[in-house]
Amino acid sequence: MSAPEVLAVGAALFAGPREVRLRVVGEMLDVAERFEDELLLLESITPGAERDEVAARVKFRCPLLGQGGACTVYAARELNARTFGQSVDDVRGEPYGCALTHARLAVLQDAAPRLFSAREARRRLAQQVPGAGFVHVYPWWFARHEAAWRA
């Protein structure tokens, strides 16, 4: 997610119950600690295949999902969450999403050509929204700005 997206998510978290925000922050920090090496490496790699491979190693259940699995910041969710399972990574030639999403989409014959490009959507967002060009995974933003999230 980009800085403008994390700000929208932050506003949604701060508008909700403090205990939800603190739970999310705690889970994000746990993920950030578990993948510290990968997150640091992602800071220094330019966008491309190598960065995608490192990012793919950072696997976690989104801490923004509530107890029942519903998104706690649905209206403010970032582009990747909005396109999850509905777009294709045209570099990898596969749907954008997790292995479960891939399995579900495999049921549909030739689904990938009908899906839009996740990378193109991200490129367009970066053109339209200042500050949306630099992206990083959720835990990176939460770990970098931990004190603000706990307020």
Q: In total, how many domains does the chain have?
A: 1
Instruction: Specify which of 3-7, 49-53, 88-92, 134-138 reaches the highest per-range mean pLDDT.
Output: 3-7
Flag whether pLDDT at 27 surpasses 60: yes
CA distance 133 to 21: 26
Q: Which amino acid is at 129?
A: V
Cα 68 to Cα 49, 71, 74, 88, 107, distances in angstroms: 35, 9, 13, 27, 26
CA distance 35 to 63: 15
pLDDT tens for each residue of 101-112: 777 766 654 555
pLDDT bin (cut points 50, 70, 90) of residue 138 is confident
CA distance 14 to 29: 17
Paired tokens of 51:
């960065």
At 106 the pLDDT is 64
At 112 the pLDDT is 53
Contact partners, residue 136, CB within 8 Å, separation at least 6: 1, 39, 42, 43
pLDDT bin (cut points 50, 70, 90) of residue 117 is confident
Q: What is the pTM of this model?
A: 0.81
Residue-range definition of the domain harbouring residue 130: 3-150
Task: Find the mean pLDDT for residues 59-67.
Answer: 87
pLDDT bin (cut points 50, 70, 90) of residue 30 is very high
